[in-house]
Amino acid sequence: MSLSPDHDRLEFWEEQAQRLHWDTRWNQALDWSGAPFARWFTGGRLNVAYNCVDRHVEAGHGDQVAFHWEGEPGDTRTITYAELRSEVCKTANALLSLGLRAGDRVAIQLPMIPEAVFAMLACARLGLPHSVVFGGFSPAALRSRIEDAGARLLITSDGQYRRGKAEPMKALTDEATGYTPSIEHVLVVRRTGADVPWTEGRDLWWHHLVDTQSAAHRPEAFDAEHPLFVLYTSGTTGKPKGILHTTGGYLTQAAYTHRAVFGLDPDSDIYWCTADIGWITGHSYIVYGPLANRTTSVMYEGTPNTPHEGRHFEIIERYGVSVYYTAPTLIRTFMKWGEDIPARYDLSSIGVLGSVGEPINPEAWRWYRRHIGGDRAPVVDTWWQTETGAVMIAPLPGRPDAKPGSARTPLPGISAKVVDDQGREVGKGESGYLVLDQPWPSMLRGVWGDDDRYRETYWSRFPAQGYYFAGDGARYDEDGDIWLLGRIDDVMNVSGHRISTAEVESALVSHPTVAEAAVVGASDTTTGQAIVAFVILRGGATAREADAGRVVAALREHVAQEIGPIAKPRRILTVPELPKTRSGKIMRRLLRDVAENREVGDVTTLADASVMDLINAGLVRET
């Protein structure tokens, strides 16, 4: 008797789940009766930290290196699995001593230092969902994330190294924690040695609290659906969404994909994912996937051109990196710096190259393969999202017929389709919307505290079919392989970072001089997209009258303060009006034409067609 495809899929995931250690085996692979809220491996119990650390030590791999860590100033640390276990246990004991109990939330804003990994794993060990906030996010962004999750503890550091300079961190997080009464303690790692403001009774040094703890801690098993973490990401509104991931399904798919996509061999590979732990790529492919697979990883703290543009290649050479996973924006930056830079280093250890975060253009793909991969290493383009938790679409290595720029096909166990706006699958050579038509183990379990937003954002587009709507455009080629075409909603992708137009607009209008703002993502050859803002100043002043340079600089700074430097608009144009339809909707398409210096398209649906002339005239005057 042949099995139905769904049965095969569930059986496939049950096999993958067996890579993990379960204290109690599950009784059902998937409970989809509460769709779109999935429950995977129901009844199963496991501990994520035990799976990522202890079991490898118990199996005799305690001396294997878990991380070759390299600080930006050049300091290094080597952490074996045995050392990782003792650091994670000490951190867990420290968190227990603060009275934290399973279910309590912990916010983490740290640079790329080993303590970030210890902190995440200690939370996982105790069943404390963590909310990691990217180190470049502003105090305002940190504050709203702490408030939304109701975190009891913040883990941060005195400062961080960025581009060769020690920058403050604790002084900034204090600006957030001054307004977040849910935070009872702030645990501070000493990294730069800078003086920091201190609140007695609330603030604690990591080296006082953690280093003095016992290195023994018995992990407790949690339900497969126990929340593992919340990670905030931009949607189409001004308020970031807390994407919720849970335990058993997430770890199963993170571990499976990491091993399968990179063909990873834990006994011989040296793996390096260049993401920051503040993003989902850092969660799934620096921490959980690689450690569940007993990988030896490189972890680097700083920027790729500090102190010189060969820094990444020097690190690849030094550690013999065999799997290198990065983002197209960095590849295009390397291209700009020149191929003579990687040519100075021995990159012959490279066996597989990965790409993530945005569509990789064929030129970048070819350059990557030739100049980093020595024309030997396959390039695997991996499509996924914060919401999917792990890779969904990627060519498995070993497929000889490489296609520069295509993520190819859904991985085994995954089902994706390209459909038209009625939800009908499009044909070969046609484009449409990317949807996921079957649940998958590492899928988000909701938006923290907002079930309606979860249903509305992801499941309301194709209710009849019950498809998950990814927000990306895609195309089938003549072979039926998938090519990703970028976001089709108001989410921008700047250097692989997701930023919503609405978020930047609401930051701009919160400045006293701004009456109205519209933001678009304009194509950019290095960063994928660049943020361009059109603002109407209060009182109808134009930038010329109000001193253009000063106003624009103040607004850029304001956005950096509200969200973070990554959200600073590349260009801000002051305009007398914005192009709107009769129902008052801003026509971003026309603004995008202006931002990309194109002839402005069809204006017939504008309430007032002369607006575009006004905008264009203003631009001519400004230049």
Q: Under a CB-based contact definition with an 8 Å cutoff, are residues 46 and 288 in contact?
A: no
Q: In the complex, what is the shortest distance from the CB of residue 356 to ligand PRX, in angstroms, rounded to a whole number? A: 5
Q: In the complex, what is the shortest distance from the CB of residue 347 to ligand PRX, in angstroms, rounded to a whole number? A: 22
Residue 156: CB partners within 8 Å, gap ≥ 6?
Answer: 108, 109, 110, 169, 170, 173, 186, 187, 188, 189
Query: How far out from the chain centre does Cα 241 lie?
Result: 13
CA dihedral 552, 555, 561, 564 (to 10 degrees): -70
Nearer residue to ligand PRX within complex by CB, 65 or 407: 407
Residue 550: CB partners within 8 Å, gap ≥ 6?
Answer: none
Quote the tokens at residue 9.
């899929």
Nearer residue to ligand PRX within complex by CB, 182 or 236: 236
Q: In the complex, what is the shortest distance from the CB of residue 384 to ligand PRX, in angstroms, rounded to a whole number? A: 5
Which SS3 state, helix, strand or coil, does residue 474 take? strand
Nearer residue to ligand PRX within complex by CB, 301 or 472: 472
Q: In the complex, what is the shortest distance from the CB of residue 386 to ligand PRX, in angstroms, rounded to a whole number? A: 3
Q: In the complex, what is the shortest distance from the CB of residue 595 to ligand PRX, in angstroms, rounded to a whole number? A: 19
Query: How far out from the chain centre does Cα 112 lie?
Result: 14
Q: In the complex, what is the shortest distance from the CB of residue 12 to ligand PRX, in angstroms, rounded to a whole number? A: 22
- For residue 119, the surrounding DSSP H or E stretch is helix 114-126
Nearer residue to ligand PRX within complex by CB, 310 or 328: 328
* Integer Cα distance of 568 and 68 in angstroms: 33
Q: In the complex, what is the shortest distance from the CB of residue 381 to ligand PRX, in angstroms, rounded to a whole number? A: 5
Q: Which residues bind ligand PRX (CB under 6 A)?
A: 233, 280-281, 356-359, 381-386, 407, 470-472, 484, 486-487, 493, 498
Q: What are phi and psi of 444, to 5 degrees?
A: -60, 150
Nearer residue to ligand PRX within complex by CB, 226 or 498: 498
Helix 114-126 vs helix 81-97: crossing angle, to nearest 10: 60
Nearer residue to ligand PRX within complex by CB, 357 or 378: 357
Q: In the complex, what is the shortest distance from the CB of residue 468 to ligand PRX, in angstroms, rounded to a whole number? A: 12
* Integer Cα distance of 406 and 394 in angstroms: 8
Nearer residue to ligand PRX within complex by CB, 352 or 356: 356
Q: Under a CB-based contact definition with an 8 Å cutoff, are residues 277 and 283 in contact?
A: yes
Nearer residue to ligand PRX within complex by CB, 177 or 382: 382
